[in-house]
Amino acid sequence: MESNETDENSSFILHPSSLDLGKRLDAFLAENIEDWSRARLQRLITNGDVLVNQKDAKPSYKIREDDEIEGELTAPIVEVMEAENIPLNVVYEDEHLIVINKQAGLIVHAGVGVRNGTLVNALMYHFQNLSQLGGKSRAGIVHRLDKNTSGLIVVAKDEATHEALSNQFHDRRVYKSYVALIHGVVRRESGKIEENIGRDKWNRMKMSVAKNGRNALSLWTVRQRFEKFTLLDVEIKTGRTHQIRVHLAFLNNPIVGDETYNEGRDKTIADIKIRQGIQNLNRFFLHAEKLSFTHPKSKEKMDFVASLPNELTDFLKLL
């Protein structure tokens, strides 16, 4: 293996050597990524977190000459996780799953430099049984929300439920709708953004619209217009990292408060009260409002709605 890169966000780019040709993809990764079992790497590949030449691949894929393998280790191995009494807003619970209305500022699972204060730590305190399909550091976690995104997230209590829910997400059978406040006044009533997303080649900590990235589709409708802002409902058909944030920034309508992608747009606001209000938010204006899926056991359609948290509704009053 040669010309390999990793970064503090646990992403990697691998270029196999001639000695690696013909090896299975999962076996190759197991040889070159420390502390990750082959089984976990197989799940990573199956979940679409590993790309070969910018395309999804199977664990059984055979390494070829000039392959470029890119991926993201979504959480490093953390064998010891401590339960922490962090308050949770439980929207629904039964013997198989839990739906949480996550508060902004709460990281979903352990990552680089993060070992506690996560949703997983909180889940371990409040619930006795959680799926271990994703490992101890991601106990129960089926999908993710960014740290500063609030809203609905489903958690699995057992492995069978976890796998069934993961399949629904993979097959795009889960309805996910967000509320986003963006810079600029959008005149159209609705639209779609269908632009591939990949890791930014200049800043590996960010994602960006990229021709050779993974396909991503977001649908938006206007909920309310303000003088210099627009409140949108955004449904995502795919689940790419930072998808809504990247797509809206691509349209030059970045999310309010999103310092990573709005390139200082917040600081250009003339109204001092609004500018100060954004600073006081200490988060960006993105909320996972609606979540619908089929219950893996009962086969019942499950629909959930989480209203905007107080800090976001209070900010809207400023507008």
Q: What is the pLDDT of residues 109-163, one digit of tens each?
A: 876 667 789 999 999 999 999 998 877 778 999 999 999 999 999 999 999 999 9
Q: Which of 48-57, 120-129, 211-220 has the lowest mean pLDDT?
A: 48-57
Residues 6+ apart with CB under 8 A from 226: 185, 319
Domains and their CATH numbers in the chain: 2-72 (3.10.290.10), 90-169+295-314 (3.30.2350.10), 177-283 (3.30.2350.10)
More confident residue, 245 or 198: 245
Positions annotated as catalytic residues are 146
User: Model confidence at 57, in pLDDT bands (50, 70, 90)?
Assistant: confident
Q: Taking 90 as the threshold, does the pLDDT of residue 211 lie above it? A: no
* DSSP secondary structure code for residue 214 in this structure: B
Contact (Cβ atoms closer than 8 angstroms) between residue 98 and residue 154:
yes
Tens digits of residue pLDDT in 2-26: 333 333 346 788 999 999 999 999 9
Task: Give pLDDT, residue 161.
Answer: 96
For residue 274, give the amino acid letter.
I
- Say what the pTM is: 0.80
Positions of E strands within 214-263: 217-225, 229-236
Tens of pLDDT, residues 221-236: 999 999 999 999 999 9
Question: Cα torsion for 49, 206, 180, 277, to the nearest 10°?
Answer: 140
